[in-house]
Structure 1
Amino acid sequence: MINWQANVYPKQFSGVKCRKRQKINPPLVLTIGFIVLIMLGTGLLMLPMASTQPISWLDALFTATSAVTVTGLVVIDTGTDLTVFGQSVVMLLIQIGGIGFMTVAVISILSLGKTLGLQQRLLASRAFDTNDLTSVIKVAKYVLVYSLVIESVAFCLLFISWFDDYGALKSAYHSLFYTISAFNNAGFALSGDSLSAFKGDITVNVVITALFIIGGLGFTVLIDIYKQKRWSLLSTNTRLVLIATLVLNCIAFILIFFFEHANPTTLAPLSTSEQILTAWFQAVTPRTAGFNTLPIDGLSQDSTLLTMLLMVIGGGSVSTASGIKLGTFVILILAMRSYLKQQTTVTVFNRQLSDKLVIKALSVMILYLFIAFTSIMIITKLEQGSLLDITFEAISALSTVGLSRGITGDLSAPSQLIIILLMLIGRVGPLTFAYCFARQHSQPLTYPTTSIQIG
């Protein structure tokens, strides 16, 4: 793992210019980078040409934050309150926020014919979650190319599907907007009811869900699949993410169909084929996609609780998704299994996980829960709404999902500011955000072991 506050850098490093040695805190720099991007987006959305009617600075800030953090929570109607210019700003912010502004920064530096210094590589390596400083340029290129290729294919499929209904120009624009929004797990839509009008459209359901599932796997997983091409050669992380994604999606689909098939406000009025498509869409969207084809406030309590659990889990690391991340969730499950079996190590696929990795996963979970419950308590004190609605909103924001039970626009200014902060924390990651304020302390001494009763 990279020393994020390192004072000592290698004297020689292939392809890296070692300049003045100084402290660097990548988590803080990354967080500031997101904040700067949000401020720029807010300024652009405040321009008269960005909206059909004047919007407040808070609405602009909320929208820009939601776009940069690829959340999808909205306080204004993207399709009617924003002009084409304003919607284009949202698309640009989603794209940069989804693939990561460090990817854009690295590609921009290279396109200008410049080289990356050591500090720049340290920042990029933190963003890409890799310890190999020599690979950051390749990873950035892979991320950009994969994003453009996948989005191009999806754009063509959606364009063909919508051509007869919308015509060439409108079909192209809608296809571009929804492709970028879906692949980056943003959930922004040009209609107030999201994609509810397409609940029976096979092409739209398959393409949109494929986009946010692929985007939520993680770029390191996609790179590994491209390079290895054989299951036996894939890394442990890749195999774990693929299996866990499949299992979670299938379980969620079965449960949503079972919970909602008789619900008159959701699946009951639909045909069998529409029920299957809609249940599938609703099952896979909570893991940070943000689109919906069912009214979220019409879901049964069973489905609502399941949706919140899926939002907490989120997608893969180094992806366009957030949450505690799929790897974190699986590691905690494996750790619990090992303890119940009275095993001294945590293993997966005949590989042993380090104690440090297990502690990191536990830290992410505890930080997430602490931030979530603290924000829920504060918002509950500020608002008079339902505890279920507020909890759902807070988790959706922290997991950068974008699903809502309809209270976003009704929240007071202080509560909206809390949601904005939650979206930012969710995008950079609770642990990364905590590292912005934490100081590293060496522990040269070892102490006698002791025991504390638990369980």
Structure 2
Amino acid sequence: MAVIREKRKFTPVQILALGFAAVIVIGSILLSLPVASRSGTRTPFIDCIFTSTSAVCVTGLITLNTSVHWSYFGKTVIMVLIEIGGLGFMAFATMFSLILGKRITLKERLVMQEAMNSFSLQGLVKMARYILTFTFLTQAMGALLLSTQFIPQYGISKGIYYSIFHSISAFCNAGFDLTGNSLVPYSNNAVIMLTISALVIVGGLGFYVWSEIYNYKKIKRLSLHSKFVITMTVFLIVGGAILMFLFEINNPGTIKDKNVGEKILSSFFAAVTPRTAGFNSISTSDMTTAGKFLTMILMFIGGSPGSTAGGIKTATAGVLLMTVVSVIRGKDETEIFKRRINKDIIYRAFSIVVMSVGLVVTVTMILSITENGAPFEYLIYEATSAFGTVGLTLGLTPKLSAIGKIVIALTMYAGRVGPLTLALALAKNKRKKASSIKYPEDKILVG
């Protein structure tokens, strides 16, 4: 008798995780080709994997200087990987399907729903079109503004390439740069700093939010999600900028010697970029301890759901914060803008934070063994940056051991896919059968 093997069916969450892994592998192979390096020789494969993972996971941590090591072919591969990683491979798969006139199947729509963190299946193809159009138009505008500064410096062809690369990197919250020293050479250039900041904020706010803002005249209202995400984003940027200004104002290694306008600009940028772009205009290693710790907090929180950013997300942090506020006020329910939040959402937010803290702690402990002699703040900073897919470092990344590179690469992958997968799994895996057994209620002392 012929043995009929049942075809394994992957869940949408598994397809997303495998899809990102497949793109990373393809990117690694392309970067390992001799034509990808400026010297024309093969790059060590572990560095190719690290760079590809960093690009697809829109992180920005690098073991090899992007400007110096890679040829224009290699840089273009990195740029394409950033775009795919930021928007999600499903968005590009949908784009090619639409171009070829193929019908989007139900299974593909389910994967799209997971990838876009959407509430329903309705209007997903239209949303995918909107995401692609919005992304390319925003990146084109960003590149146009950046070209006014890069073309006079580098010439037409190189200036246009640099403008496109940095616009894509900023919008996708990747943090890769072609200057060799991030944006430190342009710390006093308001056009570049503000353009990059705007791209980072737009990319990190979420496509769903921008869709509602765009259609505000028709719908006449914003959803609770959009209002809450915008509020949290403004709070973190403004609050972070004020604190960073206070922490670094007397630090000669960062902003002490700048004029008032430059100090404000640098403080603002230092509050924007950890969420989760990875550019820096001042030396991260020369920051005060308070400045580094604030950066780690911002990196851990990250951007908003359904965006190009990483971290636990603004909504997750905000829900837990409002839960604490509600408990202090003696309320039984978490309330946000006069709306009651379902306890399942609170449980999911709590689970995401606990799992994320556990991941950062575990990675820090492993690095403390593999990177013997490195200061503790360097290790936890690196682990937080990798998890939040930020790309900021205190200088440890290029010095990582082979095991350290693998650990950080896996952390970047977990940061891009893991928390998202966990959130989606917790959100969608509903219990098929409610338990008929209810145990007696009892008490445990806490606090």
TM-based fold match above 0.5: yes
| Residue in 1 that maps onto 2:294 | 306
- How much does 1:77 deviate? 0.7
1:27 aligns with 2:27: no
Cα 1:365–1:189 change in 2 (3 A) is: same
- Structure 2 residue runs without a partner (length 5+): 1-5
| Residue in 1 that maps onto 2:396 | 407
Alpha-carbon distance in structure 2 between the residues aligned to 1:348 and 1:424:
32
Counterpart amino acid of residue 396 in structure 2:
I
Out of 15, 23, 28, the residue aligned to residue 37 of structure 1 is 23
Alpha-carbon distance in structure 2 between the residues aligned to 1:246 and 1:227:
21
- How much does 1:361 deviate? 0.5
Cα 1:334–1:250 change in 2 (3 A) is: same
Tell me the TM-score normalised to structure 1 length. 0.92
| Residue in 2 that maps onto 1:69 | 57
Alpha-carbon distance in structure 2 between the residues aligned to 1:97 and 1:34:
7
- How much does 1:72 deviate? 0.1
The question of whether the paired residues in 1 share the 8 Å contact of 2:348 and 2:423 is answered with: no
Cα 1:60–1:21 change in 2 (3 A) is: closer
Out of 434, 443, 446, the residue aligned to residue 451 of structure 1 is 443
Q: How does 1:344-423 map to 2 (within 5 A)?
A: 344-384=332-372, 385-423=374-412
Counterpart amino acid of residue 20 in structure 2:
F
| Residue in 2 that maps onto 1:267 | 255
Out of 194, 199, 204, the residue aligned to residue 211 of structure 1 is 199
Q: How does 1:13-412 map to 2 (within 5 A)?
A: 23-53=9-39, 54-229=42-217, 233-384=221-372, 385-412=374-401
- How much does 1:192 deviate? 2.1
Alpha-carbon distance in structure 2 between the residues aligned to 1:447 and 1:74:
52
Counterpart amino acid of residue 51 in structure 1:
S
1:65-101 superposed Cα distances (whole Å, 9 cap, x missing partner): 0000000000001011000000000000000110111
The question of whether the paired residues in 1 share the 8 Å contact of 2:352 and 2:422 is answered with: no
Aligned residues: 436
Alpha-carbon distance in structure 1 between the residues aligned to 2:430 and 2:222:
34
Counterpart amino acid of residue 402 in structure 2:
A
The question of whether the paired residues in 2 share the 8 Å contact of 1:321 and 1:400 is answered with: yes
1:427 aligns with 2:413: no
Alpha-carbon distance in structure 2 between the residues aligned to 1:349 and 1:158:
38
Percentage of matched positions with identical amino acids: 37
| Residue in 2 that maps onto 1:7 | none
- Find the residue that maps to 2:123 and give its secondary structure: helix
Alpha-carbon distance in structure 2 between the residues aligned to 1:434 and 1:349:
23
Alpha-carbon distance in structure 1 between the residues aligned to 2:37 and 2:48:
10
Alpha-carbon distance in structure 1 between the residues aligned to 2:317 and 2:133:
29
Alpha-carbon distance in structure 2 between the residues aligned to 1:206 and 1:229:
28
Alpha-carbon distance in structure 2 between the residues aligned to 1:55 and 1:325:
35
The question of whether the paired residues in 2 share the 8 Å contact of 1:179 and 1:211 is answered with: yes
1:121-154 superposed Cα distances (whole Å, 9 cap, x missing partner): 1111011112321321011111101101101111
Counterpart amino acid of residue 415 in structure 1:
G
Alpha-carbon distance in structure 2 between the residues aligned to 1:154 and 1:230:
27
Alpha-carbon distance in structure 1 between the residues aligned to 2:262 and 2:88:
35
- Find the residue that maps to 1:133 and give its secondary structure: coil
CA RMSD of aligned residues (A): 2.0
Tell me the TM-score normalised to structure 2 length. 0.94
- Find the residue that maps to 1:267 and give its secondary structure: coil
Q: Which range is displaced more, 165-174 or 410-419?
A: 165-174
- How much does 1:242 deviate? 1.1
Alpha-carbon distance in structure 1 between the residues aligned to 2:348 and 2:425:
16
| Residue in 1 that maps onto 2:3 | none
- Find the residue that maps to 1:233 and give its secondary structure: coil
Alpha-carbon distance in structure 2 between the residues aligned to 1:265 and 1:231:
49
Alpha-carbon distance in structure 1 between the residues aligned to 2:218 and 2:350:
32
Q: Which range is displaced more, 418-427 or 129-138?
A: 129-138
Cα 1:436–1:51 change in 2 (3 A) is: farther
Alpha-carbon distance in structure 2 between the residues aligned to 1:436 and 1:365:
15
Alpha-carbon distance in structure 2 between the residues aligned to 1:21 and 1:128:
27
Alpha-carbon distance in structure 2 between the residues aligned to 1:98 and 1:106:
15
Alpha-carbon distance in structure 2 between the residues aligned to 1:112 and 1:357:
39
- How much does 1:273 deviate? 2.1
Cα 1:237–1:317 change in 2 (3 A) is: same
